[in-house]
A and B are shown apart, each in its own frame.
Chain A
């Protein structure tokens, strides 16, 4: 590849044009795909299959976004990112949106200058132990050895929880989830602590899930969601309302299968507005009028995405819990579409 030439040309062009404040939507439309940052591999949330196609809960959000912009769920390219590279990639504009099970925190929102688009998964840190230990509350864990991933918020939460309850523990620092599994199953540590979705996945795929127990305590709030960089409110609006549209779709009973028939005949004015058969809501944000219908047709509503990748019938087997609609006792609540 003639990178030297490209580089030189790009450098000159960059100097001449300065920092162009182009709209992300125009850039995305010009290049013809959404560049989406995802996890390098997290069960249920993002993983490449044998043919190299990315699948997962976070991945489907990107596909819905691509479908909303282009009407084509395949108009998306994925950049696998680690916990260390994800924020610089977004800040440097290498990706248009980051959908990588990222916890919404104050400093990430304010100091790192990102716009969180909402919450697509309410997670929380939990504990898992061997049933043989006979422990049924995290408050009985005084003196336990605990496998903990270093350099994460889970490490800090753990320290806070034990200090608040005046207990001591012995940390076993580990680097990856796979390492933690091996140590935990070999009983090198009594307890493994990470997000409860991760615990559920580890437990479900162990040789004997019944020998493991996830303790009831949840010691942190981990609201996960997609995010974009500061500085382009139009793009943030699009990305936020794609997420909201998926949630509204579940609320209104719109699915990938019935979205076309609902478009033709619905009596619900909000559904009509969402699917673009009433009003000019797409044009307000620079999209076609049927953008939400395209997104729902591509991936299904929030509930369908959840069930497909992390729901009770999958290897992970998570129940909806906090991630149910507010009408079902959960926290999912989208602002109205009007």
Chain B
């Protein structure tokens, strides 16, 4: 027989957990003071942070925003906060922030870089996020030409004939390929495109300009580009062009065709073996000597080409890492389905390889974007070059930290956004079989 001596009939009231085990105290005990070593490290870190804040916060806030020179800043700070206080002279940022952002771009045309940046996000949206309508990709394809027109100005038709040439080339490819096979098709298409650009594009642009004359913006020469506008132009173009080139190089490096493979390997190893600054010097000084005298080959364009080539080599290696991480079975499965090379790459191999490569690709992009500051060494006035030029103004000679802090904050915002996007993309593409 069961003999139950006591059965509780109602629930005991829930008591809160001991204070030691919940909330902030428990978190601190567990994470900051778990053991003597951690406690010591925690205290040292707090001291270091406190020291940094005590030193920097007064400097940041006991500052002057209104002075017109460094001397004025010092006087204003001394008058407001007492003698001997050293504070930041943010007045230089107030006076020069437009220059740091836009360089020497004509101030009545600031809407053009602004619009270019906004349209950049519109063009990127369908590429970066799948929930946007696919039709927007047409805009993305047109964007590079639109952006060039907005930034450099001139007649829209001068630029519009370039994609037109590409279209003519495509049409020629299909026509010739149907009749003579694909290799003559490619050769013919390239030739026809080049001929179109060299001989037909100019007169055609002139004629179109005559018919519809109002699509004309004031021309802005490259020498007027500077500041973050220059960094972003070089960075974004480099990023956009280096990804496709890098993927092709990675595929080429794995190719069985000897010539394709050796060209790709040679290119990648050469570019990776040379510092970016050397390539920039080649762009700024050596190219002049090889080109015919009087050729005015835009310096910014030269830099963009070099930066793109440099980044492509790195992207190629990152993508190759992704390709190598796929098991051989994936390639064999693609072959077994009867897909040709490009289809198997596009539908099976690359989607998986690129997914694995995302962190590497994005960190290459971030590195590329920050490397754009190297152009100050060849005399382009990017934010760092401009900070030197601003310092050369008699009023601001001696300003150092304020300019660098401003530049650093803006760079951080850009790079942090890119890194966040990469993490979003990884989570979104997470399909569960990590390797």
A residues lining the B interface (CB < 8 Å): 1-5, 7-11, 13-15, 19-20, 39-52, 56, 77-82, 84-85, 88-89, 91-94, 176, 178, 181-182, 201-202, 204-207, 314-316
Contacts and interface: CB of A to CB of B under 8 A. Distances in A.
Contacts of A56: 392
Contacts of A50: 95-96, 99
B303 interface: no
A184 to B, nearest CB: 12
A63 to B, nearest CB: 17
B197 A4 contact: yes
A2 B197 contact: yes
A8 B198 contact: yes
9 contacts: A2-B201, A41-B390, A47-B393, A49-B393, A82-B378, A88-B284, A92-B288, A206-B398, A315-B394
B392 A41 contact: yes
Contacts of A52: 99, 103-104, 224
A81 B379 CA distance: 5
A51 to B, nearest CB: 8
A149 to B, nearest CB: 14
Closest CB pairs A-B (n = 3): A14-B292, A41-B392, A92-B288
Given A1-B152, A92-B288, A182 B400 contact: yes
Interface string B82-95: 00001000000001
Contacts of A5: 197-198, 201-202
Given A43-B394, A52-B99, A92-B288, 4 more contacts: A14-B293, A20-B293, A85-B284, A176-B388
Contacts of A2: 158-159, 161-162, 197, 201-202, 205
Contacts of B284: 85, 88
Given A41-B392, A181-B400, A92 B154 contact: no
B294 A93 contact: yes
Given A7-B297, A84-B281, A13 B292 contact: yes
B20 interface: no
Interface string B289-311: 10111111110010000000000
B182 interface: no
Interface of B: 69-71, 74, 86, 95-96, 99, 103-104, 107, 148, 152, 154, 158-159, 161-162, 194, 197-198, 201-202, 205, 223-224, 281, 284-285, 288-289, 291-298, 301, 376-381, 385, 388-395, 397-398, 400
A188 to B, nearest CB: 14
Nearest to A5: B197
Contact of A178 (B96, B289, B301, B388): B388
B409 to A, nearest CB: 19
Nearest to B222: A1
Contacts of B391: 41, 43, 178
A80 B202 CA distance: 32
Nearest to B102: A52
Given A1-B301, A7-B297, A9-B198, A41 B152 contact: no
A227 B71 CA distance: 35
A105 to B, nearest CB: 20
A108 B389 CA distance: 26
B207 to A, nearest CB: 15
Nearest to A37: B379
Given A80-B381, A88-B285, A43 B393 contact: yes
A48 B99 contact: yes
A44 B202 contact: no
Nearest to A94: B288
Given A1-B152, A8-B197, A40 B379 contact: yes
B292 A10 contact: yes
A50 B102 CA distance: 12
Contacts of A94: 288
A44 B194 CA distance: 49
Given A40-B379, A178-B388, A178-B400, A315 B297 contact: no
Contacts of A315: 69, 71, 394-395, 397
A129 B130 CA distance: 64
B392 A42 contact: yes
A132 to B, nearest CB: 17
Contacts of A44: 394
A207 to B, nearest CB: 7
Nearest to B404: A178
Contacts of B201: 2, 5
A46 B288 contact: no
Contact of B298 (A1, A20, A39, A88): A1
Contacts of B381: 40, 48, 80
Contacts of A11: 291-292, 295
Contact of A88 (B288, B292, B376, B390): B288
A48 B392 CA distance: 8
Contacts of B397: 43, 201-202, 204-205, 315
Contact of A43 (B224, B292, B392): B392
Given A82-B379, A93-B294, A205 B398 contact: yes
Contacts of B74: 207
A47 B159 contact: no
Contacts of B400: 178, 181-182
A273 B79 CA distance: 56
B276 to A, nearest CB: 15
A81 B299 CA distance: 12
Given A1-B154, A52-B99, A178-B391, A82 B377 contact: yes
Contacts of B202: 2, 5
A14 B377 contact: no
Contact of B394 (A77, A79, A316): A316
A208 B6 CA distance: 88
Contacts of A314: 394
B71, B86, B393, B397: residue with the most chain A Cβ atoms closer than 10 Å: B397
Given A7-B297, A48-B99, A84-B281, A15 B395 contact: no
A98 B400 CA distance: 28
B223 A41 contact: no
Max count, chain B CB within 10 A of own CB: residue among A13, A50, A77: A50
B99 A3 contact: no
Nearest to B380: A80
A80 B159 contact: no
Contact of A1 (B159, B380, B392, B393): B159
A8 B285 CA distance: 20
A47 to B, nearest CB: 4
A39 B392 contact: yes
Given A40-B388, A84-B281, A94-B288, A19 B223 contact: no
B299 to A, nearest CB: 8
Contacts of A316: 394
Contacts of A51: 107
